[in-house]
Every structure is written in C-alpha cells, then in structure tokens.
C-alpha cells in the first residue's frame, strides 16, 4: 500500500504540534495547501489580466474557462453559464489535487477517500439545492415521477439512484488516483534513479481525465436536477 507523507506535512505538523498540541493528517494538510495554492495563483493571474494583450498563460486559462462554458451550454443551454463558477471551481480543485501527486515530495489529496467523498457530497448537495431552487415543489417529481400510481415503485428506485451518485463519484476518483500513484511508487521503487517516462505521462493523463469526468458528471447531475421530469 502507498502511504507516502508529503514534505509540506512534515514541515507543518511540527508547527501545529508546538502551537496547538496536535498534528493533522497528510490529506488534510495537502487539501488545505491546494486550496491556498489555487487561491493565490488565480488571484495573481486576475491582477495581470489584460483584455487586449493576451499572454500565453492567460490564453491557456481562457481555453479552460471556455471549455467549461461550452460543456455547460451543451447540457443546459445558455442558462448553464450561471453554474460556471461552481463547476469551474470543482474542476480546478480536483485537477490541482490530482496533479499534486506528480510533483516529487507532494501527495494528492484525492488519493484519500475522505477528500473524494467530501467533494462528491458537495456536488450532491449542490445539484439538489439547485434543482429545488429551479423547480420548487415540482422537484419532488424527480423522485416520484408524475404518475401517482407509479410513485410507490419509482420513489425507492430514484432515492437509491441519487444516493449512489456521490458513492460512485468518490470511489471512481479515489480508485483511479490512488491506483495510479501506487503504480508509480512501485515503479519508482524498482527504478529509483529513472522513473519511467510512460508512467509519468500516464499519471498526467489520469489526473486530467479524472478531473474532466468529475466535472462532466457534475454538469449532468445539475442538468437532470433543473429540468422537468416527464
């Protein structure tokens, strides 16, 4: 099993121990680190934003923003842009968390089930609250259907279906990131001086594709929540 501890955790825990008398888990510290890192990076980027003179970095970021925007439009139409901030934030956090494990000395928060379960529950509550705001009392039809005679059959099925979504989201992300980094650690242990480039490339691919899948499923769940059941 892969139980690495990040350099940041090794630096932060002695400080926490001296000041507050406790130590935090590696995934808690790394999850907090990713939040602070992304907040600092995008705050600095915003200050250097130009409407006319685009830097390569700004162009790269805007490609990502446009990608999220187009994805939301595909599933929700023009009204999907209103969910861009939430979906984009989730995508950025998951992506940076995934990529953290590819940096020597760091670990990925998303290779811990507690972090992925937390992200999945945020998505779960968000799309349900969004659906209730959009449809109000009619949101109950998401679970019962519009036919009262079928409600007895459909309600438990729909409740189980909705309950399985955060479970599926969390396990998929955790399993793929944990498995990828465990595989990389095994190869690194076998060849400590030369980590195989294909394994590193695979790790980057998994980091991006899992962030995309998480964002895609979040978008689909929002779309299903705000549209009327027929």
Query: Does the structure show a pLDDT above 90 at 181?
Result: no
Query: Does the structure show a pLDDT above 60 at 88?
Result: yes
Q: Which two tokens stand for residue 226?
A: 């705000």
Report the share of the chain in percent with pLDDT over 90.
57
Number of independent structural domains in the chain: 1
**What is the pLDDT confidence band of residue 45, given thresholds at 50, 70 and 90?**
confident
Establish if 2 belongs to a structural domain.
Answer: no
- Span 21-42, mean pLDDT? 93
Establish if 30 belongs to a structural domain.
Answer: yes
**CA dist., res. 126 & res. 132, Å (int):** 10
Q: What is the pLDDT of residue 73?
A: 94
Three-class HEC string of the chain: CCCCCCHHHHHHHHHHHHHHCCCCCHHHHHHHHHHHHHHHHHHHHHHCCCCCCCCHHHHHHHHHHHHHHHHHHHHHHHHHHHHHHHHHHHHHHHHHHHHHCCCCCCCCHHHCHHHHHHHHHHHHHHHHHHHHHHHHHHHHHHHHCCCCCCHHHHHHHHHHHHHHHHHHHHHHHHHHHHHHHHHHHHHHHHCCCCCCHHHHHHHHHHHHHHHHHHHHHHHHHHHHHHCCCC
Q: What is the pLDDT of residue 47?
A: 76
Establish if 1 belongs to a structural domain.
Answer: no
**CA dist., res. 124 & res. 103, Å (int):** 30
**CA dist., res. 107 & res. 102, Å (int):** 8
Q: What is the pLDDT of residue 26?
A: 93
What's the whole-number average pLDDT of the chain?
87
Q: Closest Cα to residue 169, out of 104, 220, 133, 227?
A: 220
- Span 36-46, mean pLDDT? 88
For residue 10, the number of C-alpha atoms closer than 13 Å in the C-beta half-sphere is 7
Establish if 38 belongs to a structural domain.
Answer: yes
Q: What is the pLDDT of residue 46?
A: 79
Establish if 166 belongs to a structural domain.
Answer: yes
Q: What is the pLDDT of residue 58?
A: 77
Q: What is the pLDDT of residue 230?
A: 46
Which has the higher per-residue pLDDT, 72 or 183? 72
pLDDT in tens, 152-180: 888 899 899 999 999 999 999 999 998 88
Domain that holds residue 86: 7-226
């Amino acid at each position: 099993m892969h139980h690495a501890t990040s350099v940041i955790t090794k630096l932060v825990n002695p400080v926490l121990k001296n000041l507050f008398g406790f130590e935090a888990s590696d995934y808690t510290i790394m999850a907090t680190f990713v939040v602070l890192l992304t907040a600092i990076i995008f705050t600095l980027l915003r200050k250097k934003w130009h409407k006319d003179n685009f830097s390569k970095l700004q162009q790269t970021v805007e490609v990502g923003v446009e990608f999220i925007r187009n994805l939301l439009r595909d599933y929700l139409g023009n009204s999907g842009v209103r969910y861009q901030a939430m979906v984009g934030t989730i995508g950025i956090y998951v992506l940076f968390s995934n990529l953290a494990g590819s940096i020597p000395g760091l670990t990925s928060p998303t290779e811990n089930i507690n972090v992925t379960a937390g992200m999945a529950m945020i998505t779960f509550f968000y799309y349900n609250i969004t659906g209730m705001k959009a449809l109000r009392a009619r949101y109950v039809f998401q679970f019962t259907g519009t036919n009262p005679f079928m409600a007895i059959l459909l309600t438990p099925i729909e409740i189980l279906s909705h309950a399985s979504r955060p479970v599926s989201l969390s396990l998929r992300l955790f399993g793929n990131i944990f498995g990828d980094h465990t595989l990389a650690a095994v190869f690194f242990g076998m060849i400590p001086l030369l980590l195989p480039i294909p394994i590193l490339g695979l790790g980057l691919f998994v980091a991006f594709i899992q962030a995309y899948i998480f964002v895609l499923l979040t978008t689909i769940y929002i779309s299903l929540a705000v549209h009327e059941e027929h």
